[in-house]
Amino acid sequence: MLSEYAIVIVTYNRERLLRECVSHAINQTSQPTWIIIVDNASTDGTGEYLGRLDSQNNIEVIRLPQNIGGAGGFAAGMERALHKNVKCVLMIDDDAILAEDYMEKILSARAEYPKYKAFAGTVETGGKIDTFHRKDLRKIGLRMKNVQEERYKQVYFTCDIVSFCGMVVDTGLIREMGLPHAEYFIFFDDTEYSLRINKVSKFLVVTNAKLDHKSENKCQDRPRRYNWKDYYDIRNRIWMINEHGNLFDKAVNFSDIFLRMVFRNWLFGAIKREHYDWKYERRLTRAAIRDSRATKYAYVSGNDVERLTHAAEKVSESVYVK
């Protein structure tokens, strides 16, 4: 007989947050059958902490030999969860702090609305609803818009896209749709997975199932400087559109990337905006577009991207004047 659910937690070098995350996972009013923690080769005290947890009966720790990002971590954890004989799987990062009744509310909705195979709750940051994590498709170009706060006043609402911050998926649907693309490393992995899920079921958002997302929302200067993460943002967005979009979607996506990234960085470099040559941004964008075309799914780690852009970054830093 299938038991209720498993929780998959992906962590990397955030021991303090992980402790709080695990504590709230363990103390759910509807107890998880399994808690599977994927350690992305942490180098802080996470390993020692997980070593003590690993002896508990319903906690299993997967220690990865290298950091393969959130995408790889969730793929590994969900694959293990499929062998645990559970009805559904909850996915969270180590900075997601579940309300004690999060899964009780989700499981109640799952029993009430069996036609839905995927669920989510409300993500809050700093006590306010974070609308970034639940989105609807605009269709053209597979562009998305955040679900507005007004809809959170309903008991339930449906949406197309859900982040891995509190996503709950039936194991039967995971078997049907497969695992997240581990090669994405970070960014668009949950969006792409949501698009696959949409072929069978929309997400039912249970608004009174809440979690606290303890992310660091930093104000960014404008125009924004790129960092290594933008490589994945560009490359994975192209991969996702190529897999799920039509020719018109691809044309819209290409135009958007050209105007907002390629042309923008070339223009800023040409006029030396802020006394900076924008060479790092131009090289990173070219590398992301090139790698999106070289092969459908090529695994590139964060360290690889750092090496890829290191030389250009050094040149940029030498002329950058704050």
The pLDDT tens digits for 113-146 are: 999 999 999 999 999 999 999 999 987 888 899 9
Residues 175 and 33 in one domain: yes
What string of DSSP letters covers 198-232? TTT-PEEEEEEEEEEE--------SSPPP-THHHH
* pLDDT in single tens digits along all 322 residues of the chain: 456 899 999 999 999 999 999 999 999 999 999 999 999 999 988 988 998 886 677 999 999 999 999 999 999 999 999 999 899 999 999 999 999 999 999 999 999 999 999 999 999 999 999 999 999 998 788 889 999 999 999 999 999 999 999 999 999 999 999 999 999 999 999 999 999 999 999 999 999 999 999 976 665 677 889 999 999 999 999 999 999 999 999 999 999 999 999 999 999 999 999 889 999 999 999 999 999 987 656 555 555 555 544 433 443 333 222 2
Residues 166 and 193 in one domain: yes
The pLDDT assigned to 222 comes to: 78
- CA gap 239, 292 in Å, rounded: 6
Residues 233 and 134 in one domain: no
Q: Is 46 part of any domain?
A: yes
Residues 111 and 8 in one domain: yes
The CATH number linked to 64 is 3.90.550.10
- Which structural domain, as residue segments, surrounds residue 71? 3-213
The pLDDT assigned to 51 comes to: 87
* Chain segment 164-176, per-residue pLDDT in tens: 999 999 999 999 9
The answer to whether the CB of 237 falls within 8 A of the CB of 250 is no
Residues 6 or more apart whose Cβ sits within 8 Å of residue 287: 231, 305, 308, 309
Residues 269 and 238 in one domain: yes
Q: Is 218 part of any domain?
A: no
Residues 203 and 253 in one domain: no
Q: Is 144 part of any domain?
A: yes
Residues 144 and 281 in one domain: no
What string of DSSP letters covers 29-77? SS--SEEEEEE----STHHHHHHHHTTSTTEEEEE-SS--HHHHHHHHH
Residues 161 and 260 in one domain: no
The pLDDT assigned to 295 comes to: 60
The pLDDT assigned to 47 comes to: 87
Q: Is 128 part of any domain?
A: yes
Q: Is 132 part of any domain?
A: yes
Residues 109 and 143 in one domain: yes
Q: How many domains does the chain have?
A: 2
